[in-house]
């Protein structure tokens, strides 16, 4: 019964997708007018360095098909921020998810077929449910490993951002303007965080927009709130004429203080983890010392 329901649901979904592809729904008048007045989207500041490995290439056709169907919600906004800081495109990530989903879906039926060839008799329910569960697990697994890596990259970016702020303060103290100070500070530094900053400032110059607007958009794209706060502070200096040098110096100091506190917290956590094996060894030592006496007392009763 369950197998028949699963097969019927799959056939019904396939028929619905075919009908939707052959006869797409007509957009409403409001959507059509909004499409005519649509402002071109700003190009992304983060360009992925590579297209991924075998998993991404295998799942790319299905991922592109899902993208045409408007299935961008399969990669939520938080995951997109993590992918941006890791130099990975959402399309590549979705392709890897699709590939692992297909592998998980085919793994259990393959083993069931091999067992059937060996003479074992299995019910059809177990392979079907196993395939569905492993397909769901394979689709979720790629999302689990990127968050920790993205947090490490954000920590490195904040460290570089504090140095960037110090350079901006030095440039402002030398009599330069806000835009020239940002460009000079980004050009001096090395590493991937400064490359991101230079790319954002170059795009703002080519698009003839304010540099702090590009920095704020970069902060939102990477999920780094400190960069968005920096953009807001610099915007006050660029538009309202506020003296921002002291606030930027204070911001750099607070970033370094926060990083120092995080380092101390990590060191304390590592020290506590190192003390656990010592406690276990000491407990085992006490057990081996006290066991003979306890065993003699229990046997004498």
Instruction: Give the contacts of 29 (CB within 8 A, at least 6 positions apart).
Output: none
The reported pLDDT for the residue numbered 4 is 67
The reported pLDDT for the residue numbered 208 is 83
| Residue with tokens 């995951």, as numbered in its chain | 79
Cα 56 from Cα 48, distance rounded (Å): 13
Q: What is the pTM of this model?
A: 0.63
The reported pLDDT for the residue numbered 241 is 47
The reported pLDDT for the residue numbered 39 is 47
pLDDT in tens, the chain (301 residues): 566 666 677 777 777 767 776 767 676 667 666 666 654 455 555 555 556 666 677 777 777 777 777 666 777 778 888 888 888 888 888 888 888 888 888 887 888 778 777 777 767 777 778 888 888 888 888 888 788 888 888 888 888 888 888 888 888 777 777 778 888 888 887 888 888 888 888 888 888 888 888 888 888 888 888 888 878 777 776 555 456 777 777 777 777 787 788 777 777 777 777 777 878 888 888 888 877 777 777 777 6
The reported pLDDT for the residue numbered 6 is 64
The reported pLDDT for the residue numbered 219 is 85
| Residue with tokens 């999920």, as numbered in its chain | 223
Cα 206 from Cα 238, distance rounded (Å): 18
Both tokens assigned to 82: 């993590």
Residue 162, Cβ neighbours under 10 Å: how many?
A: 18
The reported pLDDT for the residue numbered 45 is 52
The reported pLDDT for the residue numbered 283 is 82
User: Nearest Cα to 48, choosing from 81, 98, 100, 86?
Assistant: 86
Cα 235 from Cα 217, distance rounded (Å): 13
Residue 73, Cβ neighbours under 10 Å: how many?
A: 7
- What residue ranges do the domains of the chain occupy? 51-144, 151-256
The reported pLDDT for the residue numbered 38 is 57
The reported pLDDT for the residue numbered 145 is 76
Residue 287, Cβ neighbours under 10 Å: how many?
A: 10
């Amino acid at each position: 019964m369950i197998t028949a329901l699963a097969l019927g649901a799959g056939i019904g979904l396939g028929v619905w997708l075919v009908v939707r592809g052959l006869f797409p729904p007509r957009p409403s008048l409001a959507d059509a007018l909004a499409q005519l007045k649509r402002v071109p989207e700003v190009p992304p500041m983060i360009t992925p360095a590579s297209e991924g490995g075998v998993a991404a290439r295998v799942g790319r056709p299905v991922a592109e098909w899902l993208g045409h169907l408007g299935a961008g919600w399969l990669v939520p906004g938080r995951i997109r921020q993590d992918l941006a800081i890791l130099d990975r495109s959402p399309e590549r990530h979705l392709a890897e998810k699709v590939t692992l989903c297909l592998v998980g879906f085919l793994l259990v039926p393959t083993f069931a077929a091999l067992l059937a060839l060996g003479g074992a008799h299995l019910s059809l329910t177990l392979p079907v449910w196993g395939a569905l569960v492993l397909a769901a697990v394979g689709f979720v697994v790629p999302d689990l490993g990127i968050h920790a890596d993205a947090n490490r990259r954000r920590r490195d970016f904040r460290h570089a951002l504090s140095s960037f702020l110090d350079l901006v303060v030095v440039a402002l103290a030398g009599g330069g303007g806000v835009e020239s100070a940002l460009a000079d500070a980004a050009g001096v530094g090395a590493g991937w965080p400064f490359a991101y900053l230079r790319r954002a400032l170059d795009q703002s110059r080519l698009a003839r927009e304010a540099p702090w607007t590009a920095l704020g958009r970069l902060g939102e794209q990477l999920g780094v709130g400190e960069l968005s706060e920096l953009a807001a502070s610099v915007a006050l200096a660029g538009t309202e004429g506020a003296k921002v040098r002291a606030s930027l110096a204070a911001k750099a100091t607070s970033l370094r203080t926060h990083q120092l506190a995080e380092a101390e917290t990590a060191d304390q956590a590592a020290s506590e983890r190192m003390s656990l094996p010592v406690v276990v060894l000491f407990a085992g030592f006490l057990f081996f010392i006290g066991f003979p006496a306890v065993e003699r007392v229990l046997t004498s009763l």
